[in-house]
Every structure is written in C-alpha cells, then in structure tokens.
Amino acid sequence: MNVLLLGSGGREHAIAIALAKSRRLRELFVAPGNPGMLSLGRAVALDVTDHSAVANFCKLMAIDLVVVGPEAPLVAGIVDDLAVAGIKAFGPSKAAAQLEGSKGFTKEFCARYKIPTAAYALFSDAASATAYVREKGAPIVIKADGLASGKGVVVAMSLDEAEAAIEAMFAGGFGQAGPAGGQRTIVVEEFLEGEEASFFALCDGARAVAFASAQDHKRLGEGERGPNTGGMGAYSPAPVMDAPMSLRVMREIIEPTLQGMAEMGMPFKGVLFAGLMIGEAGPKLIEFNVRFGDPETQVMLPRLEEDLLALMLACVEGNLPQPPLRLSPLTALSVVLAAKGYPEAPQKGSEILGLARAQAMPFVTITHAGTKVEGTRLLANGGRVLNVTGLGADVVEARARAYAAIDAIDWPQGFCRRDIGWRALQRL
C-alpha cells in the first residue's frame, strides 16, 4: 500500500516508524514530515488546508490510505473531503471530530449518554459566567469552547483567577472562536480531583478496541511547576490504568461514546484519546481528543506488537478485529528535549551533535519534533525539538535508558525535565 502521512511532529515520526514495519507498506509519503522521517518516507510539500490539492496528490501517487496526525485537518473535515474523492483516510469525519473540536458538544454528549465527566455549564456572556462561578466557588475550571492548542483551559484556584479567565476568554485572549476574535461560548466546570491518565482506543465506527494507556507531564518545570506545555515527557503504560480500570473505562466511557456517536449519525472512526481523571468514584472524562497524543504516541507505538497499518485500515473499513491487541509488557518512557526559551520564545538555529551516538544505544528511539537540516548540520527549529524514548522492563530501566541517551547528545542550548516518570516511580 502507498500511504500519505500528514504532520511534522514527534508523534508523526513515531507513526512513520511503526508504519515502516508493516509488510503491507509499499511507499510512505510524509507531508510535510521532518528531517527524522526522511529515511522512512518521501517528503512532499502539500498545503494540508487545501483538501482538493491533497486529494489530487493522492490520485496521482495512487495513495491507498491517508493517515492524519494532528487534529486541525480532522476538525476542518479533511476525511470527509477525501472520502468524496474516493480516498480512504484514518481519522474521524468532521462531525465526529467535534468530540475534540467543541468542548460544548462533548459536554452535552456526555450528559445525553451518561458518560461520567465533571459537572458543567455553558455560557455565552461574561456576566452570567461570573455569576455562576461566584455561586459555585473555587477551585473551578474555565475552558474555551473551540480548539486552542491546549491553551484554552484555566484551572482557577481562586475566584479572582476564575473571573479574570472569563474576561480574557470573551475578550479574545484564548483563540478566535467568536466574531470579535473572542470566544462565543465558554464551559465552566467542576474541579476534579484524582490522578490524570490518558487512554487510547481504536474505533471502526461501531466497535472500539483498547489500545494503550499513558501519562504525560504537561508542566514545564520539575515537580509539576511552571506553565502548561504541549507535554515534556510521557510513559506507557500508566500504572493507575491497570486491567480492571481499563475495562471500566472501556465500558463506562469508550463504548457508550461509540454507541452514542453512531446513534447520532456520526460514527467515530480513528483513534479516540480519552483524557481521564481517576478519582475515588472511578474514572471521569476530562476531555476527548480525536487523534493520537504527542508525546504519548512516542511511548505507546514502541510497545505495539501488531501491524499498525493493518489496524488503521481496519478502522477505516469498519472491520476492526476484536481480540485484544498484542502489546509488549515493557515500559516506554520518553523525555522531551526542548530549546531554551520554550514555551514563550524558543531559540532556534543552535546545532545538535551526538545524535547518531545516542540513537545507536540499545532500546532507545529518538524522534524529531522541531529540527531542520542545513548542509550536514542538524539544527533546532522549534520549541519541542527531540523526543528521546527508552524501552525497559520497568519504568526504572526505561527511564535510565532515556536519560543515558540524552546525556550522549551534545546540545547545550537544549533542556529537559529530569523527573519524567516520578509518579510511576513513587508507586514502586
């Protein structure tokens, strides 16, 4: 099969590595891809927002499957437009992608299908939202309704913080969902206590199969301090997601979602990523994403002992096999190497040395997230620049391997958190 993979981050690099192992793969194209992916696929310059250009390319190159990495093209309906052109694509339709694209949609969906989640209310003006948070008190959570690249959430520990967040969201401080560049709708929800975990299931529109669990570290600083980021590291499996808890999540959250979406005429196909809070009363949904996580993918795919391409095709064609997926019992742990200045103002252009040496270490995989090649030099070209993943018998070994590889990389302008995996280590 010829496959076109859309995206350019560490997640897509990890997907490319897994697809390259498939016996069914003939040629892999990546758009736009990144320097780490060049040994795996042919890079093509395509404007992913131009769906007919993507469709034309697919026809020209006889692409059998398009794999969509990030959420934006899904929310924009690329899977629908490719389907009209007769091209198969892994990922949900525009309607089904609302599970990530609209928090308001998801909250109403959860209420309708009794999926456990934080109590909430929707507001379209600041005055009523403010009155509501005054009544409920802090801590309380304020969310922008539309996509905001992970920056549309304020967990307010005080009323002042909550009120400031409401003002800022309607004024346009968090994405541009509304007419004046501000939010039309915001969600105010109950603060959930517990341990966070990510859970992934493959879905074929009618059925779901558990994929894997992971935990990531969203805060910039060690000890979970500092601003939220795209993620500074992750590991899989998440110890809190043992077999009974995974089964509960499938029964209480994933399966009712598949049924509800099908009932509403928008069957969900692709990978459903549930962000969970595991509290005393059990699992509650924080949010859905409709694609693989970054950096969670970098720790889940090295554990997959199945043909990813065959599984993705089965999702698209509606014939996902039912036996549980074969997943290695090993633990994978990935550390993000970021450029100094990340997340506000990452410094670009510094040279990274020693990568070949690090990559050659056993049980280590390095994926690129923000690099570029100039001549023979590899340069930093983004905030999160590399993901260094170690595989081991347990989190201790996986972590030792990841940090040993990091120490083999010579890049003084980069930094990483040194405490990735602390929560899993604490449980040992």
Q: Pick the stretch among 74-82, 125-133, 149-157, 326-334 that binds ligand AMP (CB under 6 A).
A: 149-157
Q: Pick the stretch among 29-37, 183-191, 312-320, 366-374 that binds ligand AMP (CB under 6 A).
A: 183-191
> Which C-beta is closer to ligand GLY: that of 58 or that of 271?
271
Residue 216 in contact with ligand GLY, rule: CB under 6 A: yes
Residue 394 in contact with ligand AMP, rule: CB under 6 A: no
Residue 276 in contact with ligand AMP, rule: CB under 6 A: no
Q: What is the β-pairing status of strands 269-279 and 195-204?
A: antiparallel
Q: Pick the stretch among 22-30, 31-39, 290-298, 344-352 that binds ligand GLY (CB under 6 A).
A: 290-298
Residue 257 in contact with ligand GLY, rule: CB under 6 A: no
Residue 222 CB partners (closer than 8 Å, separation 6+):
417, 418, 419
Shortest approach of ligand GLY to residue 114 CB, angstroms?
25
Residue 424 CB partners (closer than 8 Å, separation 6+):
215, 235, 238, 239, 331, 395
59, 84, 128, 150: which one binds ligand AMP (CB under 6 A): 150
Window 199-228: contact mask with ligand AMP (x via CB under 6 A):
-------------------x----------
Tokens of 356: 């070949």
> Which C-beta is closer to ligand GLY: that of 116 or that of 293?
293
Q: Pick the stretch among 22-30, 288-296, 307-315, 333-341 that binds ligand GLY (CB under 6 A).
A: 288-296
> Which C-beta is closer to ligand AMP: that of 225 or that of 326?
225
Q: Are 256 and 115 in contact (CB under 8 A)?
A: yes
Residue 152 in contact with ligand GLY, rule: CB under 6 A: no
Name the amino acid, one letter, at 218.
K
289 binds, among ligand AMP, ligand GLY, none (CB under 5 to 8 A by kind): ligand GLY
Q: Which of residues 6-65 bind ligand AMP (CB under 6 A)?
A: none
Residue 233 in contact with ligand GLY, rule: CB under 6 A: no
286 binds, among ligand GLY, ligand AMP, none (CB under 5 to 8 A by kind): ligand AMP
- Contacts of 50-55 with C-beta under 8 Å, sequence gap 24+, read 51/76, 51/77, 51/78, 51/81, 51/82, 52/81, 52/85, 54/4, 54/6, 54/78, 54/81, 54/82, 55/81, 55/82, 55/85, 55/87
Q: Pick the stretch among 289-297, 328-336, 365-373, 406-414 that binds ligand GLY (CB under 6 A).
A: 289-297
Q: What does the CA dihedral 420, 423, 426, 428 come to, rounded to 10 degrees?
A: -90
Q: Are 93 and 77 in contact (CB under 8 A)?
A: yes
Alpha carbon distance 13, 333 (integer Å): 16
276 binds, among ligand GLY, ligand AMP, none (CB under 5 to 8 A by kind): none
Q: Are 336 and 295 in contact (CB under 8 A)?
A: yes
Shortest approach of ligand AMP to residue 25 CB, angstroms?
33
Residue 81 in contact with ligand GLY, rule: CB under 6 A: no
Interface contacts to ligand GLY, rule CB under 6 A: 216, 231, 289, 293-294, 296
Interface contacts to ligand AMP, rule CB under 6 A: 118, 141, 150, 153, 155, 189-192, 196, 218, 275, 286-287
